[in-house]
Amino acid sequence: MDLLFYALTIQIFSIIAIAILQDNRKASIAAHLLLITGLILGFAVSFSTLVFSNLSSQSFSAFGIPNELFRFDALGLFFLCIVQLVAIPTTIYSYSYLKHYLDEGKSIRSNLVFYAILLISTQMVVIANHAVLFLVCWEMMSTSAYLGMVFEKEKREVQKGAFYYLVISHVVVFLLYIFFFLLHHQTNSWLFSDFHISPESGNLFIALYILSLIAFGMKAGFMPFHFWLPRAHPIAPTVFSAFLSGIIIKSGIYGILRTFQFLNPTPEWLGWLVLVVSMISAIFGVWYALAQHDIKKLLAYHSVENIGIIGIGIGIGFIGSAYQSIPIQMLGFGGALLHTLNHAIFKSLLFIGSGVIYKNLGTRNIELMGGIVHRGKYFVMLFLIGSIAISGIPPFNGFISEFIIYNGFFTTAKELKNYYPLLMLISAVGLAFVGGLAVACFTKINSIMFLGSERKEVKHFHVSIYEYLSLGIFALLCVVIGFYPQPFIGIVNKVLNHGFVPGNSASELLKINWFFISLIFMTVLSGVLLFYFWKSIVQKKYGSRVSAAWGCGYGGLTPRMQYTASSYADELNEISQTVLVYHKKMKVPEGVFPIEGAFESHSDDLVDSKILLPIFRNISSLICRINFLSYTDIRYYIAFILIIISIYSLIAFLWN
């Protein structure tokens, strides 16, 4: 474990390198190299510990000194592996991304420093064992993400979007303070390893759970706390939005799973609460995504969907915990954990892909894209792999984790009987519905962005070797987990056996016939290759050529006459008009010689525009009422603080 700290130290050196080196380019190269070295070393250590050690020993010492600040239990290591695994290709991309800004002569130092701090603090968050250390790292993570986000701070939308993120992260931290103080009050310890409260403590148990679910749920982006995601993601630099969506929102999931370790077994209604909220997040997340035209905003809504899918797994696990059923817990939590890994991989891939597109085209509006496939064939292939994976379609990794969750539904129905088959069936239908919408959404963006002909002229489309490398690593992971899931299932199983569902060797996760599934995938792949060659032979024999698409005999088709993203999603949006707040403005061309017509469609977020924003507005107007206390002189404020402190101390004094 000493090595892990060396790895972290190497990463910290990158900040020093930025400080020392005067030349921007050299600083960038040195910092990235140090970060990647540190991350690879760290990943090697944490991964080998997770896979090879027996994980039974909870104690830990660094450099021979026993230490309670950090702990390397299965859950922490699993998340540490995810963070480091995803951070490696993201850092590779970061180099190429910042190079682009360097060429423009912009200073990238601050951005790079915040990125390094973000990486280090996120790694520390998942291995922290002391509540205070956890909160410090958490705060560092949130703040550095915010500071990195405002890279282009001169833009108005950047300030606005980042502000939402800043507010939400402080609300989260505030709630977490209460959460950990209450835990400390109950257990008289600050250490995660000592936190354990049984349901007998009644209301406190429930209060702690609700507190944790709200706090971590806000960070994860469950509905109705999802509103910061579609605001913060589009404006952040691509590196940060990839990391935000891939890793930081997962820290919320990490928190919820940790809470489960502190507070179990859960009551059944809590499982249902999580399941229903997650289902709503999944369905509406993807539905809102369908209505978006901004590629990054669309992907942000997809994060809400996928967090929902992870939450469904957690909900199943909670229900299993309520009934003390090991198979249900294994499948529920197992699906959630694997989907956390999978989502981190394919969402980073998609975000980095969108960053590459933005760099080349200078727009995030998918209505202005098209025909990219003729410019960068391999880039499109990589993006397509991510799209198929996120839609949960075989043979890639998204399917594997969704398959586990489906199995969770089946097992819950089988184990708990009664009305459970019906309820689980409805949940399965919900997940299938989400899958269908995701297919609609990702066929939309892939076809509009990449296929057909160019709607707006593309001057040049260049994907650098670093970008290919980072996208390639992610795509490879998608493929590997899809085609050969056994080792990953094994790791998830091990994590669950240590700390979640103890004392269980014959796992439900391993009982699924993974071998057969990968065999089928291989068959599909080889079948496709075989028929592809057969087809090309047949084509050679009977000829093939290229010709213009049929246009009712009209030869002057222009790229603008292609199908658009709005029309593609129109039918689905029409159906859910009220929820999407979807409205259209149309000016129909009239007369025998029509001159002009116009069409505009717009969609909003119901939760956002009709519920949350009015609440915020009311709060702010309420706060404005106490405006009479505002003075220009800072000494008044110091006096206020003193008065408040003395009131507090008086109360505390009298209390005792």
Partner 1 sequence: MELISLLKGIISLLVILILSPLFVGLVNKLKAIFTGRIGAPLLQPYYDLKRLFRKETINSTNSSFISVVSPVINLVTVVVAAAMLPIGFARPIISFEGDIILFAYMLGLARFFQILAAMDIGSSFEGMGAAREATFAVFAEPIFFFTIGSIAFINGLTSIYDIYHSIRLDNVSYLVFIIVCSISVFFLAITECSRMPVDDPNTHLELTMIHEVMILDNSGIDLFLYQYSSYLKLFIYAILETSFFYPFGVRSYTVGVVIFVVVITILSIALSISETITSRFKMKNIPQYLLFATAIGILNLLIYTFTK
Query: Where do the H-state alpha helices sit in 362-419?
Result: 377-390, 397-416
| Residues between 496 and 515 with contacts to partner 1, criterion CB under 8 A | 511-513
Exactly one of 35, 253, 413, 492 binds partner 1 (CB under 8 A); which one?
Answer: 413
Q: Closest Cα partner for 87 from 126, 51, 56, 136? A: 126
Beta carbon of residue 316, minimum distance to partner 1 (angstroms, whole number): 14
Q: Closest Cα partner for 292 from 442, 72, 177, 401? A: 442
Q: Closest Cα partner for 128 from 176, 169, 200? A: 176
Exactly one of 429, 611, 619, 639 binds partner 1 (CB under 8 A); which one?
Answer: 429
Interaction of residue 436 with partner 1, rule CB under 8 A = yes
Beta carbon of residue 563, minimum distance to partner 1 (angstroms, whole number): 2
Exactly one of 227, 403, 468, 582 binds partner 1 (CB under 8 A); which one?
Answer: 403
| Residues between 300 and 359 with contacts to partner 1, criterion CB under 8 A | none
Interaction of residue 433 with partner 1, rule CB under 8 A = yes
For residues 132 and 146, the answer to whether their CB atoms sit within 8 Å is no
Segment lying near partner 1 (by CB under 8 A), choices 26-34, 40-48, 122-130, 557-565: 557-565
Interaction of residue 453 with partner 1, rule CB under 8 A = yes
For residues 148 and 236, the answer to whether their CB atoms sit within 8 Å is yes
Question: What whole-number distance in Å separates Cα of residue 462 and Cα of residue 376?
Answer: 8
Interaction of residue 399 with partner 1, rule CB under 8 A = yes
Interaction of residue 568 with partner 1, rule CB under 8 A = yes
Beta carbon of residue 513, minimum distance to partner 1 (angstroms, whole number): 4
Beta carbon of residue 535, minimum distance to partner 1 (angstroms, whole number): 5
Exactly one of 167, 520, 611, 638 binds partner 1 (CB under 8 A); which one?
Answer: 520
Exactly one of 90, 241, 266, 446 binds partner 1 (CB under 8 A); which one?
Answer: 446
Q: Closest Cα partner for 242 from 99, 96, 390, 90? A: 90
DSSP-derived letter for residue 150 is G
User: For residues 216 and 406, which CB has a smaller minimum distance to partner 1 in the complex?
Assistant: 406
Beta carbon of residue 437, minimum distance to partner 1 (angstroms, whole number): 6
- Give the residue carrying structure tokens 């107007």: 621
DSSP-derived letter for residue 267 is P
For residues 580 and 603, the answer to whether their CB atoms sit within 8 Å is yes
Beta carbon of residue 398, minimum distance to partner 1 (angstroms, whole number): 10
Segment lying near partner 1 (by CB under 8 A), choices 73-81, 443-451, 485-493, 499-507: 443-451
Question: What whole-number distance in Å separates Cα of residue 232 and Cα of residue 161?
Answer: 5
Interaction of residue 424 with partner 1, rule CB under 8 A = yes
Structure tokens at 242: 């990839």
User: For residues 96 and 507, which CB has a smaller minimum distance to partner 1 in the complex?
Assistant: 507
Question: What whole-number distance in Å separates Cα of residue 296 and Cα of residue 230?
Answer: 8
Binding marks (x or -) toward partner 1, 349..388, rule CB under 8 A?
----------------------x-xx--x--xx------x
Interaction of residue 414 with partner 1, rule CB under 8 A = yes
Interaction of residue 586 with partner 1, rule CB under 8 A = no
Question: What whole-number distance in Å separates Cα of residue 420 and Cα of residue 2?
Answer: 49
User: For residues 227 and 514, which CB has a smaller minimum distance to partner 1 in the complex?
Assistant: 514
Question: What whole-number distance in Å separates Cα of residue 110 and Cα of residue 36?
Answer: 18
Beta carbon of residue 87, minimum distance to partner 1 (angstroms, whole number): 30
Interaction of residue 579 with partner 1, rule CB under 8 A = no
Exactly one of 67, 193, 261, 447 binds partner 1 (CB under 8 A); which one?
Answer: 447
| Residues between 200 and 229 with contacts to partner 1, criterion CB under 8 A | none
How many residues would you count in the chain? 656
Q: Where are the beta strands (DSSP E) in 276-369?
A: none
Beta carbon of residue 539, minimum distance to partner 1 (angstroms, whole number): 5
Binding marks (x or -) toward partner 1, 527..546, rule CB under 8 A?
xx--xx--x--xx--xxxxx
CA 366 to mean position of chain CA atoms = 21
* Exposure letters 390-422 (e unless 16+ CB within 10 A, then b): bbbbbbbbbbbbbbbbbbbbebbbeebeeebee
Beta carbon of residue 180, minimum distance to partner 1 (angstroms, whole number): 40
Binding marks (x or -) toward partner 1, 467..486, rule CB under 8 A?
--------------------
User: CB-hemisphere CA count at 13 Å for 58?
Assistant: 11
Exactly one of 20, 422, 619, 644 binds partner 1 (CB under 8 A); which one?
Answer: 422
Question: CA 330 → CA 73, 106, 259, 382, 501, distances in Å?
Answer: 18, 50, 17, 32, 7
Structure tokens at 87: 């951070």
Exactly one of 17, 208, 448, 463 binds partner 1 (CB under 8 A); which one?
Answer: 448
User: For residues 36 and 400, which CB has a smaller minimum distance to partner 1 in the complex?
Assistant: 400
Interaction of residue 561 with partner 1, rule CB under 8 A = yes
Interaction of residue 562 with partner 1, rule CB under 8 A = yes
User: For residues 95 and 399, which CB has a smaller minimum distance to partner 1 in the complex?
Assistant: 399
For residues 175 and 211, the answer to whether their CB atoms sit within 8 Å is yes
Question: What whole-number distance in Å separates Cα of residue 136 and Cα of residue 548?
Answer: 62
How buried is 248 (Cβ within 10 angstroms: 0-12 exposed, 13-18 middle, 19+ buried)?
buried
